[in-house]
Copies of this chain bind each other. A is one copy, B any other.
Amino acid sequence: MLSIGELSKRTKVKVPTIRYYEEMGLLAEAERTSGNQRRYDKAGLERLSFIRHARDLGFSIEAISSLIELQDHPDRSCEAATNIATSQLEEVRAKIKRLRTLEKELSRISKGCDGEGVSEDCYVLASLADHNLCDIEH
């Protein structure tokens, strides 16, 4: 049985975050010692690893809740899991697209000014003040 600190080290999830996940219902309430401290078994470790991995991939707590629901019912169709993963993928792609636009614009703005002048003539500030100076819609 692992203490919360040991579990934290193994999963690289911080101690308060583990407690937070328990509060949010992602982790089952842990067993306790006579002194009221949490103890975790292999199942707890695996579930936390699952959560951590899903969070790393950007899934929301809510999405992870749904995925765990499915995990706990191995007989259910996995369509829902695939849907969640697909919509997460779409979100990621949309974010990338938007960030690429920002990147272009920022790089153009940054290049426009060498930082050697005075702020009155700064192209960075001028660009931010006047959207018409932008090449791209954003």
Contacts and interface: CB of A to CB of B under 8 A. Distances in A.
Interface stretch (A1-9, A16-24, A114-122): A114-122
Nearest to A131: B53
Contact of A119 (B75, B118, B119): B75
Interface residues of A, number: 55
Nearest to A113: B82
Contact of A67 (B53, B110, B125, B138): B125
Contacts of A114: 82
Contacts of A95: 95, 99
A102 B58 contact: yes
- Copies per assembly: 2
Contacts of A124: 67, 78, 81-82, 84-85
Contacts of A92: 99, 102-103, 106
Residue in A49, A73, A82, A120 with the greatest tally of chain B CB atoms within 10 Å? A82
Contacts of A77: 115-119
A110 B17 CA distance: 28
A99 B96 contact: yes
Interface string A51-84: 0011011100000000100110111111101111
